[in-house]
Amino acid sequence: MRRTAVRRPPVGVTGAVAGRVTIVQAEEVVREGEIDPADVHLPGIYVQRIVEVGRQETGVEIEKLSSNGEDQS
Q: What pLDDT digit, counting tens, does each position of 10-55 carry? A: 666 777 778 888 888 888 888 988 988 878 878 888 889 999 988 8
pLDDT at 72 over 60: no
Q: What is the DSSP string of 28-68?
A: ----TTSS-GGG-SS-GGG-SEEEE------S-----B-TT
| Three-point CA angle 34, 73, 55, nearest 5° | 65
Residue 69 has pLDDT above 60, yes or no: no
Question: Quick one: pLDDT at residue 45?
Answer: 85
Question: How much is the pLDDT for 26?
Answer: 87
Long-range contacts of 65-72 (CB under 8 A, 24+ apart): none
What mean pLDDT, rounded, does the chain reach? 77
Backbone CA torsion sign across 2, 19, 11, 55: positive
